[in-house]
Structure 1
Amino acid sequence: VTDALKKKQEENHNLQKQIESMAQKIIEGKNAEQTVAQLQATLAEKNKLISDMKTTSQNGEDKSLQLEQKNIEMSNQLAVLNRKISQLTESIQQKDINLAELKKSLNLTTVQSTAIDETSRALKQQLKETTEQLEKMKAQNKVNNDVQNQLVSAQSQISQLTGQLEQKQSILNELQSKLVDSDSHSKQMESSLVELKQKLHDSEDMLATVSDAQLANKRAIPNSPDEIRDYALGAYWAQEMMGMISEKEGYGYHINYQQVLNGADDKMHNQLKVPQEKLVSVLKTLYAESKKREETVTKLSDNEGKKFLQQFSSLTGVKRDPAGFYYLIAEKGKGKISSSDTVAVAMRESLSNGKVIDDMLEKHTVLALPWGKYPPLFKSALSHVNNHGEIRIDVPPALAYGERGRLPDILPNST
């Protein structure tokens, strides 16, 4: 269809060129007619001139002959021109006929081209519909293939399940047979079980009696020097253990006390439930991590203390004691404290981050000691106030708990 359309378009183009060529020739013919008309006008003027000359110069025979000769020549030229006009007129008429035929052919070709275009559009639409139907058939074919594959897979699964069902049925039959055989054996086992339960009950009673005796022995109050010595070792060991637990808790570990006691008891009875090598490995890791946490916590606490000390020392009224701490007198009090007095002090102890360690005012308690029994730091602080006075002191780590702190509450290098 496309090739035929192209061919018709080429024919139309050629016809259009022919029409343009003929139109040009027709224009040329019309120009010739204009030329002939001009010549005829010129000839008429000359004939008029000859007639005038004949009227005015009848006596000039020679000249008249010359004019007649000239007239004959021009008449001949006019005849030639008339013949050319006739030929051109016939040619123009023939061109008009050819032009009409060409226009008719061109109209016919245009109609054919329109028909071809319509046929082409119809064929394209048909091709589109056919393609869509083909795609639908492909999709349906794919669905059919998927369904077929699923059907094959399902049939395979059915075969497998059928085989498994037959196998399980065989096992069930075998078990039912064994069940019948074991029924009598089960009755014998029940009888033996009753007998064993009775023996277990007797054993539990005996064990309870022995345990009560051992517990009473364990909780007995130490009386002899050896018992007190052994008890002291246990108490000291417990104190060391509690210190270690507090230290680990201060670094962020959550210690299970019962597991600590279980480990100690199992080690003492040489009945460890975890291999010794694993315990050693875990402890090495614990110590390494504790060291890192200690360094981090110590640095953080030291920075907080220095920052707080700088802020506190810049407050109005804050002074530095020769002992190395800074103090601010909130209330001077009345009545000087003498060295023979017993001094009662209510303290509120807190860290630079605001954490309260101890607050005697809240607990409504006091620390009452003879003046001479107080540590030097307390004496230096209390010497700046009188009876019923109030003082606030900022103590750097070196004068307080130092690099060890008092875990878990007071971290190393705490102010």
Structure 2
Amino acid sequence: MNRIIIGGLVITAFAFTACTKKKLDTDIKKASYAIGQQIGGNLKQQNIDFDADALAQALKDASQGKNEMSKEDMQAAMMKLQEMAMKKQQEAADANAKKGKEFLEKNKSEANVKTTASGLQYIVEKEGTGASPSKDDTVKVHYKGTLTNGEQFDSSYDRGQPAEFPVGGVIPGWTEALQLMKVGGKAKLFIPPELAYGPSGRPGIPPNSVLVFEVELIDIVKAAKAKK
């Protein structure tokens, strides 16, 4: 599991106070609110359970040089939090692995779905007319990535610019799929977790998630040319 990173944000958050809703009518209040958003967003992104009131009180106490817990108690509490987070992640990973297998088992019989020996599933939406990349090539692609429930976690289309990366420098499912495509082609990929991010997951991608990508192979940039 990714290590829980809280300290840096908390240390800089002394101006954040446990209070009822206030008007953000001064620079200090606005900055304090921004810091609180960073802390809360960081914890949410890491899927960490916490009590917002207790956290806000701790920030206020720390800014005044007070502490309701001993160092030993705080260390024990953080270890317990780590244990709970690991257990929660493992439970989510197990549940997602089961749902993923069920999804892929059903999906492989859908129209036009092809399955490779590795377990990668894909649909050719448009046959390309150019060359197919090798593992040593760098490619330019447009893509959109979602979970099986349709929730989007990434999109080069939204950024308005194609992505460029080495075929051998991405997740195994991508590396395999790109070599099956030709320039100008489009495909829809269904990537099992073992060919993606596995039980560790990523921000926005729960552990053991099946990933769905719409991929458009725009061009191939040979490695030798990329170094010039």
Change (3 A) 1:275 1:254: closer
Contact 2:172–2:195, Cα closer than 8 Å, also in 1: no
Tell me the alpha carbon deviations over residues 255-294 of structure 1, each in whole angstroms, 9 at most, x when there is no partner.
76xx59x76x95xx9x552221542453354334334422
Instruction: Tell me the SS of whatever aligns to 1:336.
Output: coil
Q: How far is the alpha carbon of 1:337 from its aligned partner?
A: 3.2
Choose between structure 1 and 2: higher strand proportion. Answer: 2
Residue 196 of structure 2 is aligned with which of 400, 409, 413? 400
In the aligned structure 1, how far is the partner of 2:133 from the partner of 2:90? 44
Residue 362 of structure 1 corresponds to: 158
Opposite residue 101 of structure 2, the aligned amino acid is: K
Does 1:274 pair with 2:68? yes
Structure 2: unaligned runs, 5 residues or longer: 12-37, 211-228
**TM-score, structure 2 normalization:** 0.59
Q: 1:342 to 1:295 in 2, by over 3 A?
A: closer
Corresponding residue for 2:145?
349
Give a deviation string over 1:68-122, Cα, whole Å, max 9, x none: xxxxxxxxxxxxxxxxxxxxxxxxxxxxxxxxxxxxxxxxxxxxxxxxxxxxxxx
2:106 pairs with 1:311: yes
Q: Quote the Cα distance in structure 1 between the aligned partners of 2:73 and 2:159.
A: 47
Would you say 1:290 and 2:85 are equivalent positions?
yes
Can you give the 5+ residue segments of structure 1 that lack an aligned partner in the other structure?
Answer: 1-234
Deviation at 1:315, TM superposition (A): 1.1
Aligned to 2:23: none
Q: CA deviation at 1:356?
A: 0.9
Is residue 2:175 matched to residue 1:379? yes
Q: How does 1:135-150 map to 2 (within 5 A)?
A: none
Q: Give the TM-score normalised by structure 1.
A: 0.35
Give the Cα–Cα distance (whole angstroms) in 2 for the partners of residues 358 and 337 of structure 1: 24
Which residue in 2 is equivalent to 1:333? 128
Structure 1's consecutive aligned runs of 4 or more residues displaced over 4 angstroms after TM superposition are 245-250, 338-342, 370-376
State the identity %.
25
CA RMSD of aligned residues (A): 4.2
Distance 1:338 1:305, change over 3 A: closer
How big is the shift at 1:370? Answer: 5.4
Count of residue pairs the alignment pairs up:
177
Equivalent residues in 2 for 1:3-402, closer than 5 Å? 238=8, 246=42, 249-251=45-47, 253=49, 259=55, 271=65, 273-276=67-70, 277-339=72-134, 342-369=138-165, 377-402=173-198
Partner amino acid, structure 1, of 2:90: E
CA distance in 2, matches of 1:373, 1:281: 40
Return the index of the structure with the highest Cα Rg.
1
Q: Which residue of 1 aligns with 2:216?
A: none
Distance (Å, rounded) in 2 between the aligned partners of 1:371 and 1:250: 29
Q: Is the 8 A contact 1:331 1:385 kept in 2?
A: no
C-alpha separation between the residues in 1 aligned to 2:48 and 2:125? 37
Paired residue for 1:411?
206
Residues of 1 paired with 2:87 and 2:133: CA distance?
49
Structure 1 residues 382 and 249 mapped into 2: Cα distance closer, same or farther (>3 Å)? Answer: closer
Following the alignment from structure 1 to structure 2, what is the Cα–Cα distance between the partners of residues 255 and 349?
A: 32
**2 CA distance for matches of 1:383 and 1:325?**
13
Higher relative contact order (CA closer than 8 Å, sequence separation 6+):
2
Q: 1:357 to 1:288 in 2, by over 3 A?
A: same
Displacement of 1:411 after TM fit? 1.4
Alpha-carbon distance change, 316 to 249 in structure 1, aligned in 2, over 3 angstroms: same
* Aligned equivalent of 2:16: none
CA contact (8 A) 2:120 2:190 kept: yes
Task: Kindly state the Cα deviation for residue 413 of structure 1 after the two structures are TM-superposed.
Answer: 1.2
